[in-house]
C-alpha cells in the first residue's frame, strides 16, 4: 500500500494544486513532475543508476505528443480568428437566432449536438477546441463555455473518431468489436442523462434569473428540451451500435439527433413565436458555415472512402528510441491537417483570397506558448508515471484490494487512464487487458467489463488536463485551468459513480 500511495502522490498533488491552490496547469504539472521524478529515481530506481536515457525518452514522447495536440489547437484557434474577422461568427449567431431566440436551444445545438458530431468525426480534442469559442460567441462566459464543451462531447467519446477506442479494445483482447459496441452504447445512454443534468446546471448558472411567470410562459421548459436532446442522440446511437458496430454510433447518432433537434427547435419557434428573427449578417450563411462543412466532408472522405483512407494511412511519421520510447502520427489523417485545409478553404470561400490565413495563424501562434508549456509539463508527468511503473503499481493495488467489488471502480480506472494519458483510446490501450483479465479471474463478463473501461475512459475526458488546457487556450483562459477543473470534477465523479453502480449490477446479474 505504501508504494501505491507514493504512485498516487503526483496525481493527487496536481489535483490539489489546481483545485485548492488555483495553480495553472503548467505550474501544477511541473510540481507533479518534480514529485514523480523524485519517487521514480529514489524509490523505484528508474533508469537503474543511468537515468539520462529514460528521462530523454520520456521528454521525447511528451514533446512529440505536445506537438500533435498543438497541431490541432493552432488551426482551430486560427479558424476562430478567421470567423471573427470575416463576420462568420456574426452570421452563425444570426442563423441560430432565426432558428430560435431561446439561449438554451442555441447552446444545446452547439454545445451538445455539434460537439458530439465533431467527436464522432474527428475526436482527439477537436470538439472542445472548436465548440468552446462558438459558445463564447453566443454570450456564454469563457469558463462555462469550456465546461459545456467538455460535458457536451463526453457522451460520445466512447465511439470518438469513428470508433477508434473500441477498435483498440478489440485488437488488444480479441473480443468482438460488435459485442463491446452495443454494451458501451447502453452504458453511454444510461449516463448521458446525468451528463446533460450537469450541462443544464452549468448553463443556468450563466443566465440572469427570470421571473417565474416568464419561465412558466415558455412553450417547453429547458429541462424537457435537454431530455429531448439526450434521447435524440442516444436512441439512434444505441440502434447503430447494435446494428452496425463501433464506427458510427457517435457520428450517426449526433447527425440524426442534431437534425431532429434542429427541426423541433425551428418548429417550436414558429408555433410559439419565440421572438423576432435576427437581422441577417452581410456574410451569407453558407459562407459562414463553409469551413465547418469542408471539415466534415474531409473527415468523412478520409475515414469512409476506403481507397483514399488506405492511401493516406500509408504516410506515417514515427520514431523509436532505445526500444522503449516511441511516437507515431499519420499526418495526412490528423485532425490538425484537416483543420488547416478547412481554414484555407474557408478563407477562399469567405474572402476569395488566402491572405487572411497568415494573420489568423500568426495571431493563434502567439497564444499557444503558455499552452505548450502546460501540455509539455502534464505529458512529461504522464509518460514518466507510465514508464516508471507507477500506473502498474496503482492498478495492481486496486485489483488486490478490491476483489469482487472491482466493477464499482472499473470505470474510474478508465477515467484515470484518460487523465494520465490524455486520450480515451490510450486509456483503453493501457487498461483494457487488465480489466478483461480481472473479469476472467472473477468469473464476470469480459465484454461488459471492457465496455465499463471504455465508458470510464470517455468520462475521464471531462477532467483530462490536455482537454482542459486546450479548451482554456481557445477562449483566452490560459493559466486559469484550475477554474475549469473545479467545475468539471464533481460531474466527473458523479457520472463515474453512476457508471460503476450500473456496471456492478449488470455484471453480477449476467451469467
Q: What is the pLDDT of residues 16-32, one digit of tens each?
A: 888 888 888 888 889 99
For residue 216, the model assigns a pLDDT of 44
- CA distances from residue 274 to 102, 161, 262, 264 in whole angstroms, order as listed: 7, 36, 14, 13
Instruction: Extract the runs of DSSP E, i.e. beta strands, from 310-461.
Output: 317-321, 325-329
The predicted structure's pLDDT at residue 366: 83
Q: pLDDT per residue over 412-470, tens digit each?
A: 999 988 887 777 887 887 788 778 878 888 889 999 999 999 999 999 999 988 889 88
By the 8 A CB rule, do 454 and 166 touch? yes
Nearest to residue 158, comparing CAs of 502, 451, 473, 499? 451
Residues 6 or more apart whose Cβ sits within 8 Å of residue 188:
155, 156, 158, 159, 234, 237, 455, 458
Residues in the chain, pLDDT under 50 = 212-217, 273-278
Three cell numbers, residue 394: 496503482
Q: Which long-range contacts (CB under 8 A, 24 or more apart) does 179-182 make?
A: 179/447, 180/246, 180/447, 180/450, 180/451, 180/454, 181/241, 181/242, 181/245, 181/246, 181/249, 182/238, 182/241, 182/242
Tell me how long the chain is. Answer: 511
293/308 Cα distance (integer angstroms): 19
Q: Which cell numbers hold the place of 138?
A: 453566443
Beta-bridge partner residues of 305: none
Across the chain, which distance is largest between two alpha carbons, in Å?
Answer: 74
Using DSSP's 3-state secondary structure scheme, residue 140 falls into coil
Closest by CA to 37, choosing from 6, 66, 67, is 6
- Where in 264-375 does DSSP place strands (E)? 317-321, 325-329
Query: According to the model, what pLDDT value does residue 469 have?
Result: 86
The cell numbers describing 90, all together, are 456574426
Q: Which residue has the cell 462566459?
A: 141
**pLDDT tens for each residue of 277-328:** 445 556 888 888 888 888 878 877 886 788 888 888 889 899 999 888 888 8
- The count of other CB atoms within 10 Å of the CB of residue 257 is 24
Residue 20 CB neighbours (<10 A): 10
Find all residues with CB under 8 Å of 498, minimum gap 6, and list them: 190, 191, 194
CA distance linking residue 22 with residue 457, whole number of Å: 26
The CA distance from 204 to 160, in Å, is: 28
Q: For position 274, what pLDDT does the model report?
A: 45
Kindly report the pTM of this predicted structure: 0.79
Instruction: Output the CA–CA distances (angstroms, integers) from residue 357 to 86, 88, 360, 368, 385, in the order listed.
Output: 11, 14, 5, 17, 39
Amino acid at each position: 500500500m505504501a508504494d501505491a500511495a507514493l504512485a498516487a502522490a503526483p496525481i493527487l498533488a496536481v489535483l490539489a494544486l489546481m483545485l485548492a491552490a488555483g495553480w495553472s496547469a503548467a505550474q501544477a504539472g511541473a510540481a507533479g513532475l518534480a514529485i514523480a521524478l523524485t519517487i521514480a529515481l529514489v524509490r523505484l530506481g528508474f533508469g537503474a543508476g543511468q537515468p539520462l536515457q529514460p528521462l530523454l525518452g520520456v521528454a521525447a514522447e511528451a514533446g512529440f505528443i505536445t506537438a500533435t495536440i498543438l497541431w490541432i489547437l493552432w488551426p482551430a484557434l486560427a479558424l476562430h480568428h478567421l470567423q471573427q474577422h470575416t463576420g462568420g461568427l456574426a452570421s452563425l449567431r444570426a442563423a441560430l437566432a432565426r432558428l430560435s431566440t431561446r439561449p438554451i436551444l442555441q447552446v444545446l445545438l452547439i454545445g451538445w449536438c455539434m460537439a458530439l458530431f465533431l467527436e464522432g468525426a474527428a475526436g482527439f480534442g477537436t470538439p472542445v477546441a472548436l465548440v468552446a469559442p462558438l459558445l463564447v460567441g453566443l454570450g456564454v462566459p469563457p469558463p462555462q463555455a469550456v465546461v459545456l464543451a467538455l460535458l457536451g462531447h463526453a457522451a460520445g467519446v466512447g465511439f470518438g473518431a469513428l470508433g477508434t477506442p473500441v477498435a483498440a479494445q478489440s485488437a488488444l483482447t480479441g473480443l468482438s468489436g460488435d459485442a463491446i459496441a452495443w454494451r458501451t452504447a447502453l452504458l453511454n445512454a444510461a449516463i448521458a442523462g446525468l451528463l446533460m443534468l450537469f450541462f443544464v446546471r452549468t448553463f443556468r448558472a450563466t443566465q440572469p434569473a427570470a421571473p417565474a411567470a416568464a419561465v412558466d410562459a415558455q412553450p417547453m421548459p429547458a429541462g424537457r428540451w435537454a431530455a429531448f436532446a439526450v434521447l435524440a442522440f442516444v436512441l439512434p446511437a444505441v440502434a447503430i451500435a447494435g446494428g452496425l458496430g463501433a464506427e458510427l454510433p457517435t457520428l450517426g447518432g449526433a447527425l440524426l439527433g442534431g437534425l431532429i433537434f434542429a427541426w423541433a427547435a425551428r418548429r417550436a419557434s414558429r408555433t410559439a413565436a419565440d421572438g423576432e428573427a435576427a437581422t441577417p449578417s452581410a456574410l451569407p450563411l453558407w459562407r459562414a458555415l463553409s469551413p465547418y462543412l469542408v471539415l466534415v466532408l474531409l473527415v468523412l472522405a478520409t475515414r469512409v472512402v476506403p481507397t483514399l483512407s488506405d492511401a493516406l494511412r500509408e504516410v506515417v511519421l514515427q520514431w523509436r528510441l532505445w526500444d522503449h520510447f516511441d511516437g507515431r502520427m499519420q499526418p495526412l489523417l490528423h485532425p490538425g491537417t484537416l483543420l488547416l485545409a478547412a481554414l484555407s478553404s474557408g478563407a477562399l470561400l469567405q474572402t476569395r483570397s488566402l491572405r487572411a490565413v497568415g494573420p489568423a495563424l500568426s495571431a493563434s501562434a502567439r497564444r499557444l506558448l503558455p499552452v505548450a508549456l502546460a501540455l509539455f509539463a502534464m505529458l512529461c508527468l504522464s509518460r514518466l508515471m507510465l514508464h516508471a511503473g507507477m500506473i502498474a503499481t496503482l492498478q495492481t493495488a486496486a485489483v488486490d484490494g478490491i476483489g469482487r467489488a472491482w466493477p464499482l471502480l472499473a470505470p474510474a480506472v478508465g477515467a484515470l487512464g484518460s487523465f494520465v494519458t490524455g486520450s480515451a483510446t490510450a486509456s483503453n490501450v493501457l487498461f483494457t487487458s487488465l480489466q478483461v483479465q480481472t473479469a476472467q479471474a472473477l468469473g464476470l463478463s469480459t465484454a461488459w467489463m471492457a465496455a465499463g473501461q471504455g465508458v470510464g475512459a470517455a468520462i475521464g475526458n471531462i477532467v483530462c488536463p490536455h482537454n482542459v488546457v486546450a479548451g482554456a487556450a481557445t477562449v483566452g483562459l490560459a493559466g486559469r485551468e484550475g477554474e475549469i477543473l473545479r467545475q468539471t470534477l464533481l460531474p466527473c465523479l458523479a457520472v463515474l459513480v453512476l457508471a460503476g453502480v450500473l456496471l456492478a449490477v449488470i455484471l453480477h446479474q449476467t451469467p
